[in-house]
Each structure stands twice: as C-alpha cells, then as structure tokens.
Structure 1
Amino acid sequence: MRLLRTLSGHLRLVTRAIGRRRFASSTEEYAKRNYANNEAEYKTVIGSLTSQRRPYLLRDVYDDMMLDGVKPERDTFHSLIVGTMKGSRLQDAFFFRDEMKSMGLAPDVALFNFLISTCGKCKNSDQAIQLLEEMKRSEVKPTGQTYICLLNACASGGRLDRVYAIVRDMTAAGLGLNKFCYAGIITAHKNKTPLPDDTASKIFELVEQSKGWSSVEQTKDNAENIMLGISEEELYNLPTAEYIHRRGGFISRQLTVYHVAFHAYADLRTVEATERLLEMLEKDGKSPDVFILMQVMRYFVVEVISFCMYCYPLRKFTLCEV
C-alpha cells in the first residue's frame, strides 16, 4: 500500500539495492499488509492521521482507497478536506474537491466553508472570493458561517476593503455581527499594509463596539463541525485555535474578542494600548485567562530580548575602551 511505502521509505531503498522479486502475494499476506478494507476503516485512518497532524499522507490514503476499489462517500470527502484544512494544504483540498465532483457528488455548503477556511489559513483571499462566486453559480446558499469564514479569510491578508464589504453584505442579509466577526475585523486592521498609525486605537474601538455583539444564525453545519472535531476557533483561523481544546481554564471563550486584540497588540508591540486593554478588561469585571497572560508576557519578553541585543554591542564597545 502506498501509505505503508511512504512510512517505510528507508526500507524501500534497501529493497531496491538488493533487487526486486516479482511474485503474487497470497490472500493472507495481503491482509497483513493492508491497513483498511472498507470505507469505515479508511475513515478511521483519515481521522487518525488528521489528529496526528500528518495531512501530507491523506493523498496516499485516498490513492489506496482507489486501488482497493473503495468508493468514498460525501462524509469521507468531508473528513479528507477537514484534514487538509487543519494542515493548511490548499492544493490537496482542491484536489479532493475535484475528485468529489468527478464522482457526481456536488459540494455542499459545509464543504465550501472548509475550503474557504483553508484559503484563509493559506492567506489566499482571492481564491476564497472565487469559492463564494462558485457557490452562487451552483445555487448553494451561503450561511452565516460561510460569511464569517470568508471575512476571516480576507482578514488574514489584511484586505480591509473586502472585510467591510462582507460586513455590509451580512448586514443587508439581516445577519448581525458576532464576536467572530469583530475578531476578523481586528485581524484585518492588524494585517493591513502599510500599517496605519491609528491601528491600535481602531482595535481598541472595535473591542468596545463588540460588547453588543449578536449571534449569527445557527445552522446544522455546527453539528457536523462538532462531529468532525472542528471548533469555531479553528474554522475561523483565530489565534486561540491551537489552545481551545486544552483544559484547566486555559481559554475563556467569552473573551474571544479580547484574545484577538491582545494577540494583535503583542504583534504590534504597543505597551500603552495593552495597558488600556487590561484596564478595560478589569472594568468589565473579567479576569485575564492564560492565553491573554501569554500575549502580555510575549510582548515584554520580546522587549527584553530587543533591549539585551541593543545593549550587547555597547557593552562590548565599553570593554574595548577599558
């Protein structure tokens, strides 16, 4: 099997050096070598590779399915594309989309959401916009989740113009802005190039505005995301995505907008804005969780390192003078 050959690359090189032996495998030998026999077993393998962060092997698993004559159904393609999404493998995601189409399975709204999210992870907002246009041509109705995925995909590239255009579309469709929308707008301001001088104050204003956020419509996609092990933080590419499954109060989900704002300030290295945001958090009667404390510490650690790097040549110069 192709996957097993990938995992045992060194053994394959030794085999080539010794020489090939051509013979037919018996049924028992094939059963030992084969790691999956039906779609359910292949789905288990796909889920295992995704959880192990080995998305580069998903194409091999798919090829093995084809060799074994196992036809993947819609939910299997969803699992494959979710794996590529988590691994930020945009080319593989579109490969599975095309394979799905070739088998007569039309992409649904959930799959489009996964693809748009993958575009966001790869900072490819142009492709994300094209996917929305494809949805319209295919008469697949976007949901609130689709718009938020698209908003955050455009925000990853600092496309503030596109982000506010999506906000206007959402408002026209009667959808309110929730905390993930505000998180995306903050990210867009942080990633905009060239960076405006008032970025820190804009982010502070957005945190203030977000306190009246509303809930975007809930859809059946949320239930499917939970079944596939996808959190909203992962789907929308928030900086807390890597930590959301940790226990012990590591992440307080009520502080989503604060998380993104503190993360932005740490990247921008603005101490005054960070202190103002901590004061706002205290006035709201909330305490910083572990992620927020990490961002505050990250800023000061970077400042200390920068100061030490600045002082080292001066110290060297002083010693030479002595």
Structure 2
Amino acid sequence: MQASRRLHKLLPLLAARGGGAAAGSAGVLLEPIPAAGARYLSSRYGHADGDADRPAEGRRHRDGGGERRHGGGRRFPRMHGWEAPIDTPRTLQDYEKLVLGLARRRRAYLIRDVLDEMLLNGMRPNRFILSTGLFYCMKTRKLGDAMFFFEEMKRRGIAPDAAAYSNAISACGRAGYLGKAVELKDEMLAAGLPMTHNIRLALLHSFAESGSIKGTREWFDEIVASGRPADEFAFAGLANCYRHIAPRAVPKDAEQQLLEVLQQFKEARVAWDAQRAAAAASEGQHEEEHGGLELEEGEEQQQDGAPTKDGRPFSPQLVVHNAVLNSLVELGRHEAAKALFASMAAQGPAPDHTSYANIVRSHLNQAVGRHHQPQGAQLTALLNQRVKGADLSADYAAVLEEEPHLKAALEATEAAEAARGGAAQPAAAQVEQAAEEEEEVAAVAGGSSAELAGGEDEEAYVGPPLEDEASSSDSSSSSSDSDSESSDEEAAAAASAASKAAAGGERRRTQRGGREGAPTPASFKGMSAAELRAYVRSRSTHRARSRLRFVIFKEHTDVDAWYEALHLFQEVLDRGMQWGPDITFSMVKAALDMQATGLEDSLAVAHAVLDHFERQGLFIGVEQGTELLQLAVRRDVGDLSVAHRIYDRMATVQRIPKTAAIFKYMRAVAQREPHAHERLMALCSRILSDPDRSNKVAAMKSEAFKRKQLLVNELQQEKSGEQ
C-alpha cells in the first residue's frame, strides 16, 4: 500500500517539469541535485515522510491511473526523443528506457518507485535496471539506495558481477564506510570473481576518503604490481588522500609529498605515451585505440582530448593537477597552491573551472584567515582574558537599546522598588560589578564550545566560523555544522527558558554553559529589578565576547587576498566559464565575513555574485542556503539586505531554510527592522508550520507564537487609533 501511494507521483512529476526542466527557467535545471525532485513532490503532493532522499507521501490521484494494473500504463513524458504509448501495457524495454532517463536526469532515487510499480504489474527487474540504479546512486553519493539495489540483485538471484561489486565498494568508500568496502572485496573474492583494475581503484579511493596514507599507498602499489600502469585516477586518489587526513596527523612535508606525486605522474605519463606510440606503430589501429593495453571486459578508456559529458575535452594531466591543487588548498598551503596554479597557466595544462574554483577558495581562506585563527582552548583563553579587562558599559547600553520592552520593564521595576524604599542600583555600578566578578564571567564562559561556535542569546549567531571547515571532492563549499548545531541548541535553550519564565514568572538557567534563558517581553513583568539587571549583565557579557571574537578575527584577515579572489572571480566571468553553487557559496560566505569585519562594499560583492548566479537559472540548496542565512543575520553584518534576498529566493523556489535559521532571522528582523510587520508575521507563521515536535523546535515555536500575538495586538491598536 505504501508503494502504491508513491506510484502516481513519478510520471506526473516528470511531465509537470517537462522531462526534467524546472518550471520558470526555460528548460534549464535550477538545481541539478537529486534532492530537488523530493522537495518538489513534498510541496506539490503533501508532507515529506521524513526521508530526504525519497519522494513524499501525498494524495491519491485516481484520474491519472495511478493504481491501475489491468490493461494500461500511464502517460510517459518524452525522454531522449522517445514517446511511450498511451493506454498500453508497459514492457520491460519501456521500464529500461524510463530508468535510464531518470538516471541521466540525476533522479536515480526515483528508480525505486519504478521497481515498486514493476512488482505491482507482475514484472521482475532485470540486471540492467538494478545495475543502473546502483551505478547512478553511487555517483550521487546515495549509499542507502545504492546498497538497496546491490542487495536486491542478490535477493532476486542475480549474481553481482565485478562491475556491481566495484560500484558498491565505491559507494561505501565515498560515504566513509571503509570497513564495509573491505568486506565487499572479501565477499567478491570468496565468490570466485577476479580482482579487476576498477575494483583496485575503488578500494584505493575508499582508503583515500578515510585519510589512510598507508592503505592508499598499498593499493597504489597493488595497481602497479598488477602489470597495468597507474593511470590519472590512481594518482588523483593518492593526492586526494592528503586532504582527508586528520589535522594532527598531517605530515610536516605534506606539501613536498603532493608535489612528488604530481612529478611521478608526469614521468609515468611520458612513459605511457611512449608505450602507446610504440604499440600503435607495431600492432596497428586496434592497439592505438586501447593504448597498447588489454582492457578488461566492460571497461572503457578515456582518450585524451575526447569530449566529456559536459562538452569539455578530457585531460588526464588536468585531473591530477586539480587533485593536487585541491589538497594543497585544504591543507592551507596557500603559497604552494598559488605557485601550482601559476605554473598551470604558464606551462599547462590550462586551468579549467575546477582549477579556478580551487584557487579562488584558497584566496578566500587566506582572506578570512581560516588556517590562522586561534581555535579551541586557545581561543577560549584569549577571550576570557580580554573579557575580564573589557569595558562593558557600551554593551550594557546596547542591550537595553535593542530591547525597548526590557528597558521599560527595568525602569518600571526600579521605580516601583524605589517608591517602596528599595535602592535601585545604577546601571554603571552593575557593569563594574559584572567586570569584577570572575565567577560570573567564568559561568558565562563555561559553555565555551557553544559560545565559540556561534551560540547566541537573543539575536542570531555572532562571529565568523572560526573552526576548520570540511569540504568534499565535488564541492568547494565549506560546512559549519558544528556552528549550526551549537547555535541551534543555544537558541532553543533560550526560547525554552523564555517559555518557562512566561508561564511561572521565574527565570531559569540553561544547562549548556550556565547561561540564562532569554525571557520574552511578557515574562519581564514577573521579574524583580535584581533579576532583570542580572539578565542584562549576562547579555552584555555575551555580547562583549561576540564583539571581541570579531576583533580577534579581524586581526587575522588578509584584505589583499580578498581582492585577489575578486580578480580571479572576474576572470572566470570574462572567460565565460561555467560555474556552480560551490564558488557562489564560498564568495558570498567570505563577503559576509569581510563585511562583519568592517570592510566596505563587501555586501555589494555578495549581491553581484548572487545576481550573476540567478542569471544562470541556478540557486543554492537548502543546506548551503541555511548556513548563508545564519551568517547574513549576524549583528556585525548590520544590513539585512542579503538575508532578505536569500530567504525570499529560497521561499520562491520552495527551498525553505531550516527552522533554526528562520528563528534567528526572525529575531534579527525584530531587533533591526521592528516595523516590518508583514515579514515578521510571515516568519512567525513559517516557524509555527514546522511539523517537527522536538523540544528544540517546540521552544522556538513558543517564542514565535508570543511574538506573533504581540504583532497582532500592535496592529489592532494601530487600527483602533486610526479610527
């Protein structure tokens, strides 16, 4: 029954999108990633079932024949010039063409729905359908779906061949499951299958993804010992291994080792070319086509200069050069990366868009000081030292200015206590007391891991991502998952404390870092003047830490590297190269960081990059867009124009950011643009519509509901005043 609910969605989706072209972009895919189809289905047919890789469950459409088994298939879209018959039973060849069309449109995860339909129609999937699903899910890094097709082959009595084992091993290696990859190799050998060149390459890359130099070297030597020269993909895997090594385990001479790998490839390439020329002269055209080497069954050799799938000529030298360049960038060897890129531009091979993406990312890392910023305990100690001697009076006043309801509640409470004979302590004295009390500072600094990762009190995450950012081989986009997780929990804890304060009239400390929760305007009425002042002191201390963190960040920035990155980016545009979300994400992220440090016109750069990106008919996905939104709402960035643009663009194409990012965005708008009632109401409604029932999201919903009620009351008062 669950399978039958998904069947009606497959073909209507493709037909509605014109066979893979996104609506509104004249046949150009807006986001060529597999998750786009699932989110489109979720928005069109119903709520997602919790699996981001699978289409959402939705309504049944009986008019399209979604559940018919007798005498007729549904309408197929046009695929590669082929139009399926209407109201005729589907054949196995029809399903094969459908599977191939989905795979080539990078919708391989939908092949599982085709299998469900085949079962309902009493048909058995053959080796071609299962192998196609396995291969393309491996290419798109969908380990769960890839292993489903692999196990389905064995369950249906289709013995996996060497190519199937190679794809399964590659899928496990790309996902970081090295142990499973080795188990599959042992299983293959036990089944009596031979060890092929592709399987050796798959194992080499699996060890490279895990950062094991020893294992990668062993399989590299195994390839050489097998009698076949190591090709460009073997050398590229050897170079990629260095960027996956743990920071503490990176060899001191890693830069020299990478350059040696490149030199070894050049020498091996010269010998290989000489061997091919000799074989072609002595044995004729056949040997020339196969490079003087006997290829394994099902293996194809890429010829130099032959066009690739995207139309660019294939260059083995460029494969290895880009792998070495990428590893140098990830290791922070900026000068070596610059020298290698300059040699490529002068001596060849000519840099392509991947080369430019790598060198631009290297300059951006140098500009924001990614590999030079103090980390962990060093940063904690440095911040604690500076906070103890800092003047917090300006931060104290800024907190009261940002929260007029808090200021009014504090003044009213102090006035009431003064009328009753209580002594209202001046704000300046409270600031001095906060600076002298080391225990309070230590309590606020206790949750250093959350604070330094970007945790915040009332607004959004303040401070650039200072920890190392993880990158993948196919994307230069950086990840700040630790930023997001810690700041999400901090925001949730603050909202939870607000809910408790509003209900019981008392303020509680959160368990992470000992920091106090952030009360809502309604909860201020139940707090004494001493409690309010203590809350403002806590807020001002945290604000000072955020401000000082940016001071430290600015001390390690390199403005010259930033302008050099802009020059290279302009060169990419002048050459008319195709580039995707990776460069856009890196450029916008760095522009926001540079704007936070006070560098003028950085926001203009972010808008210019987004302008060109949108003209290509592309947009940033949910994960990257969520991180950019969190960076754009930081207090030190100031202007919310980039945040507005990112959110509006994502909402237009139904790529909604995560609720935690929307929550911070809502707070930033409430503080900096309090009169934007329409936008605030929309953000509150968006947060309240999240089906997630976890405690973290529930606390955010509670504050969003209270803020929405406050907005409704203000609008009603304005209307009554006008009348």
1:75 aligns with 2:128: yes
Partner of 1:31: 73
Partner of 2:295: 218
Q: For residues 73-93 of structure 1, what are the alpha-carbon distances to aligned partners after superposition, in whole Å with 9 as ceiling and x for unaligned? A: 222221121122123222222
Unaligned runs of 5+ in 2: 11-40, 48-56, 62-66, 77-83, 273-290, 370-556, 560-592, 600-634, 637-723
Unaligned runs of 5+ in 1: 17-23, 233-242, 318-322
Relative distance call for 1:55 and 1:259 in structure 2 (3 A) is same
1:4 aligns with 2:8: yes
Relative distance call for 1:47 and 1:149 in structure 2 (3 A) is same
Question: How far apart in 1 are the matches of 2:343 and 2:322?
Answer: 13
Question: How far apart in 1 are the matches of 2:95 and 2:132?
Answer: 10
The structural deviation recorded for 1:43 is 1.6
Structure with higher RCO (Cα < 8 A, 6+ apart): 1
Give the superposed CA RMSD: 3.4
Tell me, yes or no, if the aligned pair for 2:208 and 2:216 is still in contact at 8 Å. yes
Equivalent of residue 158 in structure 2, options 105, 110, 113 = 105
Tell me, yes or no, if the aligned pair for 2:130 and 2:153 is still in contact at 8 Å. yes
- The amino acid of 2:309's aligned partner reads H
Q: For residues 134-163 of structure 1, what are the alpha-carbon distances to aligned partners after superposition, in whole Å with 9 as ceiling and x for unaligned? A: 111001002112101110121111122211
1:142 aligns with 2:195: yes
Equivalent of residue 268 in structure 1, options 307, 331, 354 = 331
User: 1:121-160 to 2 correspondence within 5 Å?
Assistant: 121-160=174-213
Partner of 1:47: 100
The structural deviation recorded for 1:313 is 4.8
Larger radius of gyration: 2
Tell me, yes or no, if the aligned pair for 1:155 and 1:187 is still in contact at 8 Å. yes
- The amino acid of 1:222's aligned partner reads E
Relative distance call for 1:265 and 1:15 in structure 2 (3 A) is same
SS in 2 for 1:31: coil
Partner of 2:254: 199
Question: How far apart in 2 are the matches of 1:186 and 1:39?
Answer: 43
Tell me, yes or no, if the aligned pair for 2:232 and 2:320 is still in contact at 8 Å. yes
SS in 2 for 1:141: coil
Partner of 1:239: none
Tell me, yes or no, if the aligned pair for 2:212 and 2:241 is still in contact at 8 Å. yes
The structural deviation recorded for 1:218 is 2.2
Partner of 2:146: 93
Question: How far apart in 1 are the matches of 2:362 and 2:132?
Answer: 37
Question: How far apart in 2 are the matches of 1:94 and 1:157?
Answer: 19
1:184 aligns with 2:237: yes
Tell me, yes or no, if the aligned pair for 1:50 and 1:86 is still in contact at 8 Å. no
Question: How far apart in 2 are the matches of 1:124 and 1:162?
Answer: 14
- The amino acid of 1:211's aligned partner reads K
The structural deviation recorded for 1:280 is 4.5
Partner of 1:289: 352
Question: How far apart in 1 are the matches of 2:105 and 2:311?
Answer: 19
After TM superposition, the score normalised by the length of structure 2 is: 0.37
Tell me, yes or no, if the aligned pair for 1:187 and 1:260 is still in contact at 8 Å. yes
Equivalent of residue 302 in structure 1, options 365, 376, 389 = 365
SS in 1 for 2:310: coil
User: 1:241-252 to 2 correspondence within 5 Å?
Assistant: 245-247=309-311, 252=315
The structural deviation recorded for 1:115 is 0.9
SS in 1 for 2:73: helix
Question: How far apart in 2 are the matches of 1:14 and 1:310?
Answer: 48
Which protein is richer in helix relative to its size? Answer: 1
Question: How far apart in 1 are the matches of 2:7 and 2:323?
Answer: 39
Relative distance call for 1:3 and 1:254 in structure 2 (3 A) is farther
Question: How far apart in 2 are the matches of 1:195 and 1:56?
Answer: 37
Question: How far apart in 2 are the matches of 1:128 and 1:217?
Answer: 27
- The amino acid of 1:219's aligned partner reads E
After TM superposition, the score normalised by the length of structure 1 is: 0.77
- The amino acid of 1:96's aligned partner reads F
SS in 2 for 1:221: coil
Tell me, yes or no, if the aligned pair for 1:144 and 1:217 is still in contact at 8 Å. no
